[in-house]
Amino acid sequence: MKYIFALLLLVVISTAATAQIIGSKKAHAFPSLEVASFADTIKNKNVILVDVRTPQEFAEGHIEGAINVMWGKTFDDNLQRAKLDKTKIIAVYCRGGRRSKMAGDRLIEKGYKVVDLDGGIAAWQKEGGAVVTK
């Protein structure tokens, strides 16, 4: 009977741990801002607005003042070419938030201060935010 109880307890604990891992989101070392807060933040002169989508996505419409530093295998090279000022805050976004969070993590590793647009440019546009095209 002890063995059955121990086995049952082990199954319950492992199931709970697995559910916690699957259901949890990765914590990032930077804030993810709602559209209104992000819009206020990017008005600051000490903020550099960075769009990490592809050049094609960027050309189809981006937030005014953004520079394009595409996320992907060449991100470190793209970042080096962009020569971003480490004394400024990097406000990063993508289409929906996934790439910008990965790029934000990499930027933090490289010593930048980062904020992210929660929900990406899709949320920005849904809230009535303007975009410009090349």
pLDDT at site 79: 96
pLDDT band at 4 (very low <50, low <70, confident <90, very high): very low
Is residue 51 within a helix (H) or strand (E), and if so which, with residue range?
A: strand 47-51
Of residues 7 and 30, more confidently modeled: 30
pLDDT, tens only, 12-23? 333 333 333 333
For residue range 44-84, list pLDDT tens digits in order.
999 999 999 999 999 999 999 999 999 999 999 999 999 99
* pLDDT score at 120: 98
Higher pLDDT, 105 or 13: 105
Please tell me which residue in 42, 50, 94, 121 is annotated as part of the active site.
Answer: 94
Is pTM, for the whole model, over 0.85?
A: no
> Is 94 part of the annotated catalytic residue set?
yes
CATH class of the domain at 26-126: alpha beta
